[in-house]
Each structure stands twice: as structure tokens, then as C-alpha cells.
Amino acid sequence: MQEFEEKHEKHIEEILNVLETDQDRAQIVSDLHKFVDGYKIDISTARAAVIRKYGGNPEALFTPSSKPLSQIVGEEPNVNFRAKLLTVNQKEITLKDGNKRQIHEGTLGDSSAVLRYTSWQEEFPYEAGTVVDVGGAYSKVWNERIDVNMGDRAIINIVEDEALSALEIDVGSMNKGTTTSQECTIATLQNGMNGVNLNIRVLDIEKREFVNKTTNETKNLWSGQMADASGVTRFTAWKDTKMEAGKAYRIESGYVKEWQGVPDLNVGDYTTISPLEIDDLPPMEAFEAGLAMPIESLAVRGGSTDVVVDGYVINVREGSGLIFRCTDCKRVLRNNQCMVHGKQDGNPDLRTKAIVDDGTGSVTTFLDNTLTEQVLGKTLDDCLESIKSNFNPESIKDDLDKALKLKPVKIRGFTRSDDYGMMFFAKEVTLLNSDSVKEQAENLISEMGV
């Protein structure tokens, strides 16, 4: 228990801070340990469950930490920062429905940057020179400039900060959040990058609707996958770019935001897109089998939406084989118990949790029901029938051990990241035979000239 407490010290303190009571620390540690190690749920869900148990509000956990203004990028939906208000101006605008509204705008700064801001709140009783902590703001890109917006959900507090109050900020000479162009490949994309220029091929694209939480308007966005010779990434376009699947384009002044732990290339209002004059990118057919990447490189990059990894299964973890899922939320039941919907029999399912190692690193890999059936060579119904005859549910995991452990595999899929690191969700799995591994090794030795 001591090792668990040391590992999750930060999360335990956050739970105690949210509850703001004299709640027994040992009991909090015990409850968190039960959810994480007992029920095998992720740390974020576990923290929320502990807070609900004691009558707290889990939403208080998910406030991002404050960041310097220079680290704010365009199109961030939730931003926290501390800044000095440099100018404050009141302005009346006309909304799309014809109604008038008073807003406040101006500039604010810290030691790293100066940004323009707009407050949409009914009251803004702050003067120039005031230092404020702002939570729940959002950012936009306007004329290649990053602006911060404070909507009705934003929280603004005046704070005492002698250093920032005394700081002489030259609005004319400091960085105003403008983007700097940088030539990139998909493999080099990192969260927070601005002014991204690269050549890509669109693999797929779809139009979707979303509701702007500030104006309550229904708008469109376009998302999908794009690729170059170095890899594949997800993208989101906030305007109609007229891009088509299969065609190659030049993108300039894009920006990168993390989505579920993976870099996501964003196309904003001031991103330019043009057909690629000289199409020297791999053809669509080259991406059909997926692009291979070492696990080490995958982890450094932050993951991928479509990647192939060759390695060995070094372990089949507990929780593999026959499981039962909640009939409502699909969570895995522990002792016939769903942490959200209570005691139930649940629905049977198959899954595999394996550790795959390629020599550069290892990653927890998940195979769903279909892929687990493929590995086992039998269906879920077959497994249920065999358990009826041998009365041993663990026999399914034993079969997975025999089929996978210390065996070479090729997996294709996508990654997600949480507090425990990167996870690989396979869409395809191929069991390699020893001859194919030997052939690959011989080819590698030949290429190296050894």
C-alpha cells in the first residue's frame, strides 16, 4: 500500500483538496487503491469515483494547470493562465440575431508574451494594471494572431503578484502570439506546435456538426486522416477546405493539439491549403497495409492513429480471456459489480491484454473480441461451452498464453494515452512464424553488411 501511495501521491492530494474536508487520508488511499488495483479502472475514473463517494464534485479535478501565455496555442477549449491586464476597453457589438451586447477587450501579458483578449461576461470590473488568474478561457486564431476569450464559464480572480504587477511590459516589442512557420513531417508533429507547414495526402475525410458552446450555434467541421512517408495523423478542419480523399495538398500555418494523447493537426481560419504541384508522396496503396514504426519512436511522438508494430508478446496480462461487461456502460465487471451501475450478471465478452516488445520499447496492447477469437481459433460461444464442461473460466487465458506468449506478432492499430502511459488498440493482428522472423533477421543483417 505504501508503494501505491507514493506512486499516486499527486492524485491523492488533488482528491483531498477537492473534498476540502478532514476526510481520513488513509481511507482515501484505500478507496483509490481498490478502484485502481482491485477494479482495474483508469486513474481518472477512479479519482472521480472517490470524490463522488464523499459528496464532492469530480469536475473540480479537471481544471488544467496554469500556463505561460507563450504556450497558449490556437483553438484550445480550456485554458488557465495568470496575466496582467494592460488595457481594458468596453465595446458594443451586434450579434447575428440583431441583439446588442457589451463586451470588454484589450491586451494582457506576462513575462513570456502579450495577447489580445475578449471578455463576453456581463460584468468585467477590472482595471488596467490588475493581475488576474483566469480559468476556463478558450483561445482562437485571428489574422495569424492568438487571442484568448473569457466566456460565461470562465472564472476570473484578482490575485496579489508583486513580480507581475511591477513588470514593465512593452506591448510594442513583445511577442504577440503570432505564429512562426516551421517545415514539418507528420512524424515530427508535437502537441502545441504552431505555424506548421507540410505536404500530405488525405486518406479519408468526413463532415460533422458540432454546437459552439459560446454562441450555441450549430457549425460544421471536417475530420479524417492524412499521411506522408513518415506516418499517419488525424486532422480537424474548422472550415471547408474542399480537400478530397486520395489527393495531395500543401498545408501552411496549421497547428497541433493533442487528442486522446495523440497529436492532431488542426486547420484554422488562417491556415492555407493548396493542391500539391509536384506530388512525390507515397500513393494511396502504400498506406493500405499501414506504416511501420518502432515503439520507442511512437512513444516520443505521442502515438499515432494508424501504425504497424512488429514485436514479441512477452506477457499476457490478468484480465485477459473471458470477461463480463456492464449492460449499460460496457465497463468490465469486477466480482459481478459495475462501479457505476451496481451488481449485475453482465454480458460475456473476450479480450486480450498483452505486452508487446520490439526491442526499442514495450506497449500494452488490447485485442477485442474478434481478434481474440482469431488468436484462439474459436468463438465466444465455443469458449462458453468449454467452460460449462471444464468449470474453469481461467482456461481461456491459459489458451491465450499458449497462443501468444513469447511469440512474434505484427499488430496494426491506434494508440491512446493516459496517466499510465501509451496503450495500443489493435485493429489487425498477425501471428508470425519463426521462419518469417528468421528471414527478417537475415535481411536486416544483409542490409547492414555484417
Q: What is the pLDDT of residue 83?
A: 93
The low-confidence residues of the chain, meaning pLDDT below 70, are: 20-22, 42, 44, 58-65, 143-144, 170-181, 212-215, 418-420, 434-450
Q: What is the pLDDT of residue 44?
A: 65
Read off the pTM.
0.55
- Number of neighbouring beta carbons within 10 Å of residue 435: 8
**Dist. CA 268–CA 201, nearest whole Å:** 18
**Dist. CA 363–CA 288, nearest whole Å:** 23
Q: What is the pLDDT of residue 174?
A: 44
User: Using CA atoms in the order 395, 398, 399, 401, what is the torsion angle rounded to 10 degrees?
Assistant: 170
Q: Which residues contact 100 (CB under 8 A, 6 or more apart)?
A: 92, 93, 94
Q: Which SS3 state, helix, strand or coil, does residue 42 take? A: coil
**Nearest C-alpha neighbor of 130 from the set 176, 164, 153:** 164
The three cell numbers locating residue 174:
513583445
Q: What is the pLDDT of residue 171?
A: 59
Q: What is the pLDDT of residue 356?
A: 94
**Nearest C-alpha neighbor of 88 from the set 100, 106, 102:** 106
Quick one: CA dihedral 22, 53, 3, 61, positive or negative? Answer: negative
Class in CATH terms, 182-286: mainly beta
Using alpha carbons only, give the angle 101, 102, 105 rounded to the nearest 5 degrees. 130
CATH of domain 69-166: 2.40.50.140
- pLDDT, one tens digit per residue, over 23-33 is 788 889 998 88
Residue 277 contacts residue 237 (beta carbons within 8 Å)? no
The three cell numbers locating residue 400:
491465450
SS (H, E, C) 267-331: ECCCCEEEECCCCCCCCHHHHCCCCECCHHHHHHHCCCCCEEEEEEEEEECCCCEEEEECCCCCC
- Number of neighbouring beta carbons within 10 Å of residue 32: 21
**Dist. CA 436–CA 450, nearest whole Å:** 20
- Number of neighbouring beta carbons within 10 Å of residue 61: 16
Q: What is the pLDDT of residue 253?
A: 83
The three cell numbers locating residue 82:
495568470
Q: What is the pLDDT of residue 291?
A: 83
Q: What is the pLDDT of residue 178?
A: 47
CATH architecture of 295-448: Beta Barrel (2.40)
Q: What is the mean pLDDT of the chain?
A: 84
Q: What is the pLDDT of residue 144?
A: 62
**Dist. CA 284–CA 303, nearest whole Å:** 21
Residue 287 contacts residue 296 (beta carbons within 8 Å)? no
SS (H, E, C) 374-404: HHHCCCHHHHHHHHHHHCCCCHHHHHHHHHH
